[in-house]
Amino acid sequence: MILSCRNIKKSFGTDEILNNITFTLEEKEKAAIIGVNGAGKSTLFKIITGELSCDEGDIIISNNTTIGYFSQNLEIDSNKTIYNELLSVFQDIIEIENRLREIEIEMSKTEGEKLDFLMKQYSALSSELESKNGYEYKSRVRGVIKGLGFTEDEYNKPINHLSGGQKTRIALGKLLLSNPDILLLDEPTNHLDIESIQWLEEYLKAYMGSIMLITHDRYFIDKISEKIIEIENKKSKIYNGSYSFYAKKKEEDRQIQLNHYISQQKEIKHQEEVITKLRSFNREKSIKRAESREKALKKIELVEKPENLPEKMRLKIVPKKESGYDVLSIDNLKKSFDDKTLFENISFNIKKGEKTALIGPNGVGKTTLFRIIMNQTIYDSGNVKLGSNVKIGYYDQEHQNLSKDKTIFDEISDEFPYLKNEEIRNTLAAFMFTGDNVFKSISSLSGGEKGRVALAKIMLSNANFLILDEPTNHLDINSKEILEDVIKNYEGTCLYISHDRYFINNTAEKIIELNKTYSNTILGNYDYYLEKKSESKADVNNNENVLLESDNKKDWQRKKEEQSIKRKKENDIKKIETDIEKIETEINEADYMLTLEEVYTNHFKSKEIFDKKTELEKKLTLLYEKWEDLSS
């Protein structure tokens, strides 16, 4: 056990947030905290780190345990470059390296007893460097930078020139490199595209410490977590398994609890009726029997009625006007900004009724493509054609089509005055707004609730082609499941951008992968897309296959030559990296030899090894220079 939370309670004023939160985290265990927005997940993390105190309960952490905490929207404020900022995590190693270089210079000018002293000092520092994995920290930094979605030409970009999302990624990178015993990660996949999320999954799966994470990314949880800690109605419950196991087990447990509750309520009602009847006889024996039953009834341990039971959407949403079979056709589309190509060679079709996910790395132009489809942005070349009777309903991340000063009900009734109150309530109920909740003000809603209102408006409009830009952003898991039901029950056509692979798996029938120089269409969900990707030889072959279909042979030849040059450069870089690793290993071995008593007490032997190490370090310096030249 590395961390234990026992009976944690926390309130803010009269508002109780957590009550009786109890769980343990073992060494190397990976757990996810699940709960709706506002359940107290982030508050729990802050209590564990000591940022907040709990009202009752105990936090027990093993001795000498280090904790690294990544909070939502954490940003780095620095004048350093990306590379140097991440490199600063290893300042202690850098100082050891610098001291080793100083000793090496001193040893080259010294002999006798002073040399023996320096050799021992050198040996001790080398051992310390090895224990800290000091021979691989630069490659770790480069790996994290690349994994978090930064390109090589951004290594020397100053931190203060980055966007907020990029600064958050740097903060995450620094935390990962610091390698604490326990990682507390609050929404670590925010600001990451799918490629970076996949990299982070692999990094965390291989992480040797313990991990607790808060995320609404169910696919991410499935890949990493072996324990689910659910916070619901202020209490905790443990499920040992993945998210998929948790979701299934929770539904089963709730149904069992509901059945027990209903059965118990029937029995209680029956006993109350018997007691009433016995008392009505007004006999001494009957009254005693009634009192005996009343005592037994009071001793019954009541089964709680399960709250927040997930409701499946029952409303079929049918567009008021049908579109033609061909909804959207895009052929050889190209878009540039300031002479810089955003994307080109983009071709795909959308047919009536299809649910399609548009995926691709950040910055590739997915939102720009949506604006082109809606005729809000001009394009350089190619063709974009909407089919007959196609009416677009657009969902943007900022929900700009909502009036903050209105209630949910008024927002709908003012937009669609011809709808009866019952029709409005039925529609809102499909989006989980029931009872007096429909009279909540828009300004008081969470991001997820606003998203559901915006979707309800789109569904009630004349739209038959939904274009949704990151509809799952800021949604908790319950809200995502509601949205999944909405899309699956929608009888129109839907094209959406999302990084939520679980959501894509549950809703998409087609995947369109957008890249700078091509688009790729896969008929199937996200898992099938991954399967087809793994069968593909390389992204380069995909590029060439798409280009081969182009009528422009000269353009294809130019692209092929560029790809050939790129492949050669990548191969050269890979070879140098292999050589670097080999030489670093040899230097490591030399350092180890210098720590051996039979070596450092033998002047000739130690000098031979030291000279060899000096030559290796010269070669390593040259290789670093070559690597930097090729990577620039």
Mean pLDDT of 555-581: 71
Domain region containing 606: 553-631
Assigned domain for 207 exists: no
Assigned domain for 466 exists: yes
Burial label for 412, CB within 10 Å (0-12, 13-18, 19+), is buried
Residues 6 or more apart from 356 whose CB is under 8 A from it?
350, 494, 495, 496, 508, 509, 510, 511, 512
Number of domains in the chain: 2
pLDDT, one tens digit per residue, over 338-393 is 888 999 999 999 999 999 999 998 889 999 999 999 999 999 999 999 999 999 98
User: Is there a single domain that holds both residue 523 and residue 423?
Assistant: yes
User: Is there a single domain that holds both residue 397 and residue 441?
Assistant: yes
For residue 69, pLDDT over 90 is answered with yes
Structure confidence at residue 618 (pLDDT): 85
Cα-based torsion angle of the residue sequence 7, 10, 16, 19 in order, rounded to the nearest 10 degrees = -10
User: Is there a single domain that holds both residue 378 and residue 510?
Assistant: yes
Structure confidence at residue 288 (pLDDT): 85
* Residue 204 CB neighbours (<10 A): 20
Cα-based angle 277, 282, 283 (whole degrees, multiple of 5): 110
User: Is there a single domain that holds both residue 576 and residue 624?
Assistant: yes
The CATH number of the domain holding residue 342 is: 3.40.50.300
The 3-class secondary structure across 598-626, one letter per residue, is HHHCCHHHHHHHHHHHHHHHHHHHHHHHH
Assigned domain for 160 exists: no
Structure confidence at residue 170 (pLDDT): 92
Structure confidence at residue 560 (pLDDT): 53
User: Is there a single domain that holds both residue 489 and residue 560?
Assistant: no
Pick from 535, 565, 599: which residue ends a domain?
A: 535
User: Is there a single domain that holds both residue 515 and residue 583?
Assistant: no
Q: Which residue has the higher pLDDT, 270 or 134?
A: 270
Judging by DSSP bridges, how do beta strands 355-359 and 510-514 pair with one another? parallel
User: Is there a single domain that holds both residue 337 and residue 452?
Assistant: yes
Q: State the chain's mean pLDDT as an integer.
A: 86
User: Is there a single domain that holds both residue 564 and residue 527?
Assistant: no
Tell me if the pTM is above 0.75. Answer: no
| Nearest alpha carbon to residue 90 among 129, 127, 125 | 129
User: Is there a single domain that holds both residue 457 and residue 496?
Assistant: yes
Cα dihedral across residues 419, 494, 330, 370: positive or negative? positive
Structure confidence at residue 587 (pLDDT): 84
Assigned domain for 572 exists: yes
Structure confidence at residue 308 (pLDDT): 54
* Residue 400 CB neighbours (<10 A): 7
Contact in structure between 187 and 215 (CB atoms under 8 Å):
yes
User: Is there a single domain that holds both residue 496 and residue 627?
Assistant: no
For residue 543, pLDDT over 60 is answered with no
Structure confidence at residue 561 (pLDDT): 66
Q: How far is CA 605 from CA 103, 105, 196, 601, in A?
A: 18, 18, 48, 9
Pick from 535, 570, 600: which residue ends a domain?
A: 535
- pLDDT interval class at 399 (50, 70, 90): low
Structure confidence at residue 569 (pLDDT): 77
CA atoms within 13 A on the CB side of 415: 20
| Nearest alpha carbon to residue 121 among 595, 620, 616, 604 | 595
Instruction: Tell me if residue 22 falls in helix, strand or coil.
Output: strand
- pLDDT interval class at 553 (50, 70, 90): very low
Mean pLDDT of 402-426: 90
Assigned domain for 38 exists: no
**Residues 486, 6: Cα–Cα separation, whole Å:** 40
Mean pLDDT of 28-52: 92
Assigned domain for 374 exists: yes
Pick from 508, 535, 562: which residue ends a domain?
A: 535
Assigned domain for 372 exists: yes
pLDDT, one tens digit per residue, over 232-263 is 889 999 999 999 999 899 888 888 888 998 99
Assigned domain for 582 exists: yes
For residue 536, pLDDT over 90 is answered with no
User: Is there a single domain that holds both residue 521 and residue 560?
Assistant: no
User: Is there a single domain that holds both residue 466 and residue 343?
Assistant: yes
